[in-house]
Structure 1
Amino acid sequence: MRVSTRFSDSIHLLAFLKVYAGERLTSDLIASSIETSPVVVRRLMGKLRHAGLIATTPGTAQPVLAKPLSDISLLTVFYAVEGDKSLFSVDPKTNPDCIVGGNIQNVLQQYYQDAQTAAEARLAKTSLQDIVDNLLVEQAKKEAVQ
């Protein structure tokens, strides 16, 4: 099963818009940072625009954040690009005649729900401002070493 990177790519995209605000921000440029295609970037921007996180003007290469970074939680970004999808899923196709296969869904479901609740709470407390602040600290460390 392939794990989606839409969430991390969307956080990357939003941070990029902040760090490089004022520059000509084409989907090609943003895609080069994420190392994906401009089509993927445009699809993500469509979801982020629909969620009210960015604003775009047709025909221009200047997407902007629609609200301050401190007002955008990671949970909001997750819901914008993934919907209400669970972070974890239990395989529904197991052998019901096996002790493990016949009981694993019920046993794991509560653990997964607890983990989902904890993850959502943590994502809700983390803003994009936290992410950008940490990105800038990491960059300062790299520059100090050089």
Structure 2
Amino acid sequence: MPIRTASARWQGNLTEGSGTIRTGKGGIEGNYSFKSRFEEGEGTNPEELIGAAHAGCFSMAFSKALADAGSTATSVETTAKVHLDKTDAGMTVTRIELETVGQVPGIDESEFQKLAEAAKANCPISRLLSPGAEITLTARLSA
């Protein structure tokens, strides 16, 4: 399997400095700062990138689980809300809320929910993050 890379460059001190984040092949590149991370400033931040990775991984894992069960998804759209909170140990990602909407012809609600939970448990990014962060899932079957 290939090894994936990403890089970051930071210039200046914590509160007034700025930086750039880039994925290895340049698919994603963005500016980040103290304000974009801890306030509501312009730019991205590491937590958004974790959310994007988690949403992407879950969507693929769910799509595979659906197909393996004989139900091909027309689409799976997932949002990850990453909570960065101050704890006794310092700033910590404490919780990630996955919200997904799947358009899956011919599947019943019970099977849809069961496969969504299985995808959450089996997604490599969920497995990476779940020992340290609570991961919740809200799955909605779209008509």
Q: Which has the higher contact order (CA 8 A, sep 6+)?
A: 1
The structure whose residues are more often strand, as a share, is: 2
Q: Which has the higher helix share?
A: 1
Same-fold call, TM cutoff 0.5: no
Q: TM-score, normalised by structure 1?
A: 0.27
Specify the structure having the higher radius of gyration (Cα).
Answer: 1
- Calculate the TM-score normalised by the size of structure 2: 0.28
